[in-house]
Structure 1
Amino acid sequence: MATTLRRVDSYSSDDTLVETCRRPLERPLGETEVSYFLPSRESGVNDMYLHLGFRSPPGIMRRNRVCLVWTILRLRHPLLASKVEMRDYDDIRFVHSAPESVMEALESADANLEYRSQSKDGRCLLFFMIDAYLNGPRTLSNERLSYLVVAQLDKACSQTIEAPEEVELQNFDLLLCATHFLGDGMALHQFANDFFGLLASDRADGDLECMLTDEWYSRWGAKKDESVFGLPSSLEDRLPPLPEGKFCRAVARVDFNNSQAKLIGGHSFPRRSGNPRRTVVPTVAIKEESTKSILKKCKQSGVSISSALFAICNIAWARTCDRNWELPTMMYSALNLRSVLTASKAFNDSYWYLAIGYFNVVLPTFIPKSASDKEIEKIFWHRARAAKDQSTRAAKSTMLVSRSYEMARERGQRARCWAREDDEKARGTWKAPPSPPPADPSLVAKKPPSQALIGLSLLGNLDGIYKHSTFQKVKMHTLTTGSRQRAGGMLLFGYTFAGRLWLSLGYDEAGFEADTTERFWGNVLTAVDTLLV
């Protein structure tokens, strides 16, 4: 569907983009960005999406108005409108060509905006929209790092009962898509909050047009010192600098290796192979009253919902597996590093950048078969507190910065190695490295297993990010999120939104033994009902 774009340029032709700024802005990808970019090349592994379901007056969602807001925010966050050029495994760059006019900025945003309507067969478009993004041809590319989809569902697909006073509101779904090497979940949610803050404000379209023109002019319409232009910095450039010297580097490396050696896990889901990847995301929203009860219980026990969810998965797995109970269960999660980053003074600085580290939680698997419900509840809260302690130690470690540098370096090197191997296999030039000579078993120390059962993406209380009071015309009721996964990928999402606790399990149903995965998910929900509610 084409949109009619009004010409909103209000500055004279003398105020066009200066020649020094016509050259595209570039910067190399950081190591963490590289570790996400290289696996994404073939099929979009880790491409993120954020879905928001809401009710809104239809006038707010007119394409012209949505496009104006989308354009303003793409100007404020230039990585969204950039592309990636890979010249070599060690030379991968963000490239941003500045729009030479407001109309050019509008047309670029409109080309990355899509409106969809109800599917012809009467089934809910939302399922197909997310399923197509996760399992169909890749939506994003090196030339398109972000994309926005707006869908309007008819009454047959609406899951919200219309109240008499809301008859003027209609159901809409918004899908915000972005590559993971562009940013993280916190960037997605902050962007969505800013998007609706502008879209549902009292500003008329004309006011948004003036805001857009001013936004473009402040960045590209006036002559400025070229040094003030730049793209948002990478994680590694934002981390505080480490002490220099070989000794300090050696200490950091030894500490990192020691911390990794402590990660012991002896459990994983039984896998299947040979089937095309197919990601599914079963999602459950806990009732508001039950969510309040859960929050109260967690507070009384001195833990957050995030810590409790590690213990929920631990108990659920113990009830699912029937062997190796003597080995611990390891789970991994992302660590938000924004609080430790140094401030950037770049002219085009924004919150769209990748700022995550990683940590693991290791918990015992064993539960006595004769344990009563009360004893299991005590075990559960004890393990939730253990998960909290491990999470806190990871976030507040004095070695957090050096470990983040080391992890980024290791992930970047590993991604390059795998990318070269994949490319050589595709060209038919790959040769397996020679096998090392067999080592004397008596001289080789047996390493403990280090298998992770599952990853948890724990986003916390998203109602702290979404300022619902600033866009009261929009009534949000649903939020789901996830990413395109690699074959055999699995990730549990947990967060509160609109006063409810949401749990979703995104996994490749073709890559895991169906019975085990379904029993585990059922045990997760049962554990929530019996231990948390």
Structure 2
Amino acid sequence: MSLQSGLPTPPAHEGELCELGSDVNFKTAHNACRSEGQYGLRYERKMGNTELSYYLPSRQTGVNDMYLHLGFKAPERYVQRSRVRAVWAILRLRHPLLSAHVEMHEYDDVRFIYTAPSSPRDLFEDADNNLEYRTQDKDELIDSYLNGPRTLSNSRLSYVVVSEPGEAKSAVPTPPRTPSPSRSSVDAGLIHESETPTEIEREYELLICAMHFLGDGMALHQFANDFFGLLGCDMDDADLEAMLEAEWRDRWQNISTDASVLPRSLEEYMPLSDGRFRRTAAKVDFQLSQERLVGGQVFPRQKHPERRTIVPTVSFPEDRTKAILKKCKANGVSISAALFAICDVAWARMGGPKELPVLMYSALNLRPYFTVKPPSPWNSYWYLAIGYFNIVLPSFLPAADKVESVFWHRARQAKDQSTRAAKSPLVASRTHVMAEERGERARGWAKEDDEKEQGTWKPPVYSSSASPPKEPILPARPKAPSAALMGLSLLGNLDGIYKHATFPSVRLHTLTTGSRQRHGAMLLFGYTFQGKLWISLGYDCNGYPDGFVDKFWKECLAAVDVFLG
């Protein structure tokens, strides 16, 4: 079905040795390798299938490269490059995948490579090389990331941009890149810039960029909260640099050879028994669950040589948001469930075919299902931990006098389906089977894409002498259509993640998130932030007939007005 382009995938095998060369000694630890390299300790591990399913499609144009934009106000001393650089360095130390790079050997052998920092100075310079100051406004910043040249690469898995837009941009010039410090300056402490900034509060934009195979939305938002917690804390720059050095010593001065430095893959955090019966039962259950997914509603698409993603966004005032949440609660649903019904009603009002239902998909946070816990201090939250679930709703509307009651009934249907997906005892096994399918499919597509680019691809030739296909697990049944209309990323109440009171001098006011998309992609986001409900629709405006998605978006907002108040 259509949603397969975003689904999960398995781990590299426990204890598998890494090929580092015949003259290199190494140890294996939790599927990661450690070796003595020219520049320090080197750790590596193979990607699991879930990570591969995101990495392989991203190689050329950066499909799925994530971003998180936050608009905020702060005194300029909190946003000086020296301070941002120190905060960024501390967090890159705590989360090694942010500083790793990727090496691809085969389609099923892609590896994270992490070289341990030999000193705090290494961390400081690494952070500086992955930090940029600009003078773009929010829209320019997001557009350049989504539609311009790719920001990230195999050697740059994460990046931070700080921008000061508007008239004030000329008042605070971008500080130059840090020169390589001398040994004496490092021994005396990390670099301090000579400016003494004023307490004038200014408007800033922050863009946090990260590959999707590094982690998911929950990791991104937790990271942003930690970022502002350090940026807006009472410590001065020297204190932050001292923290960096202390944390580096705790992690690296007495590192053991079997330390689990790199986070494991999703599948290793929720392992399954290798029993043959268990694996067969998991595949039967997965196939049955997939056959229950019926959907036949799709947006009309058009081919266009250029992809252009836009993200129309609306926010609702706090008083109206409270009223909306209160109305949802009175009808026994969350705002997330209501948004499924909003999209369903909006689509029905577009006048599509009524014979088949509407299928939508969304992400499921898998962290609560993990049975393996990483040891401190290597307990980074930067790893992929998402699965997917589906919502199926009718595609027609009843008589006008019954529409509101039917709307809330469908919202409750969405809630019930979401709850069953989250509470199913088979979440782990379904994730593993789906991961295997996703990984196999991603490898096949990647190989075909590469061969087409090189001019060597040939259509497969099926010979009558070839071995017969494997007998299906279940008896053959007529296959129902399972096309998905769209995906919804429902992030919930982000004010439960952002501890605004811990950084009172930095006032966050705007949040937008998403990723670089493939041609014809669409994803609706819904969340509450700073007490406001936010809804945004990220889509490729060149991938659909003119005005069609605009009309759908207007129908969505009209349905919010009518049903949510």
> TM-score under structure 1 normalisation?
0.89
* 2:163 counterpart residue number: 151
Matches of 2:434 and 2:277, distance apart in 1: 19
Paired position in structure 1 for 2:400: 371
d(CA) in 1 for partners of 2:167 and 2:321?
A: 28
C-alpha spacing 1:18/1:96, structure 2 compared with 1 (3 Å): closer
Of 446, 452, 459, which residue of structure 2 is paired with 1:425?
452
C-alpha separation between the residues in 2 aligned to 1:423 and 1:18? 32
Match of 2:191 in 1: none
Kept after mapping to 2: 8 A contact 1:231/1:349: no
Distance in structure 1 (CA, Å) of the matches to 2:276 and 2:267: 19
Q: Which residue pairs with 2:182 in the alignment?
A: none
Identify the residue that residue 146 of structure 2 maps to in structure 1.
134
1:386 lines up with 2:413 in the alignment:
yes
2:370 matches 1:338 = no
Scaled by the length of structure 2, the TM-score of the pair is 0.84
Partners of 1:56 and 1:346 in 2: CA distance = 33
Per-residue deviation at 1:138? 0.3
**Counterpart for residue 460 of structure 1:** 492
**Given residue 528 of structure 1, which amino acid in structure 2 is its aligned partner?**
V
Instruction: Tell me the equivalent position of 1:223.
Output: 254
Q: Which runs of 5+ in 2 are unaligned?
A: 1-33, 170-198, 465-474
Q: Work out whether 1:311 is the aligned partner of 2:341.
A: yes
Out of 255, 260, 276, which is 2:290 matched to? 260
Residue equivalent to 2:22: none
Is the CA contact 2:260–2:375 (under 8 Å) kept in the aligned structure 1? no
Residue among 273, 277, 281 paired with 2:307: 277
Q: Which runs of 5+ in 1 are unaligned?
A: 1-16, 119-124, 158-166, 438-442
**Counterpart Cα distance in 2 of 1:19 and 1:509:** 49
Contact 1:18 1:223 in 2 (8 A): no
Identity %: 59
Task: Tell me the number of residue pairs that the alignment of Structure 1 and Structure 2 aligns.
Answer: 492
Query: Whole-Å Cα distance in 2 between the matches of residues 51 and 236 of structure 1?
Result: 30
Distance 1:349 1:379 in 2: 46
Q: 1:34 aligns with which of 29, 37, 52?
A: 52
Matched to 1:114, the amino acid is: E
Match of 1:172 in 2: 204
Q: 1:194 aligns with which of 214, 219, 226?
A: 226
Are the equivalent residues in 2 in contact too, given 1:329–1:365 (CA < 8 A)?
yes
What do residues 206-260 of structure 1 show as CA deviations (whole Å, max 9, x unaligned)? 111110101111122x233211242011101101x32332111111000000001
**CA distance in structure 1 between the partners assigned to 2:448 and 2:54 by the alignment:** 16
Q: 1:346 offset after TM fit, Å?
A: 6.2
522, 527, 531: which one pairs with 1:499?
A: 531
Amino acid paired to 1:422: D
The Cα of 1:518 is off from its aligned counterpart by 1.0
The amino acid that maps onto 2:453 is A
State the alpha-carbon separation in 2 of the partners of residues 506 and 156 from structure 1: 30
Alpha-carbon deviation of 1:155?
4.8
Distance in 2 (alpha carbons) for counterparts of 1:487 and 1:18: 41
> Residue 229 of structure 1 contacts residue 346 of structure 1 at CA under 8 Å; is this kept in 2?
no
Q: Distance in 1 between matches of 2:316 and 2:204?
A: 22
CA distance in 1, matches of 2:419, 2:318: 28
Deviating beyond 3 angstroms after TM superposition, the runs of 4 or more aligned structure 1 residues are 17-21, 434-437, 443-446
Q: Distance in 1 between matches of 2:138 and 2:168?
A: 12
Per the alignment, do residues 488 and 259 of structure 1 end up closer, same or farther by CA in structure 2, a change over 3 Å counting?
same
Letter paired with 2:428: V
The aligned counterpart of 1:440 is none
Question: C-alpha separation between the residues in 1 aligned to 2:554 and 2:63?
Answer: 27
Q: For the Cα contact (< 8 Å) 1:189–1:465, is it kept in 2?
A: yes
- Corresponding position of 1:8: none
Contact 1:282 1:506 in 2 (8 A): yes
CA distance in 2, matches of 1:18, 1:401: 33
Residue aligning to 1:204: 236
Question: Residue 416 of structure 1 corresponds to which residue in structure 2?
Answer: 443
Query: 1:408 is matched by which residue type in structure 2?
Result: A
Aligned equivalents of 2:335, 2:406: Cα separation in 1: 16
Structure 1 counterpart of 2:331:
301
What whole-Å deviation, never above 9, does each CA across 1:294-315 have from its counterpart, x for those lacking one? 1101111111111110000000
* Range with bigger deviation, 415-424 or 507-516: 507-516
Give the alignment partner of residue 182 of structure 1, picking from 190, 193, 214: 214
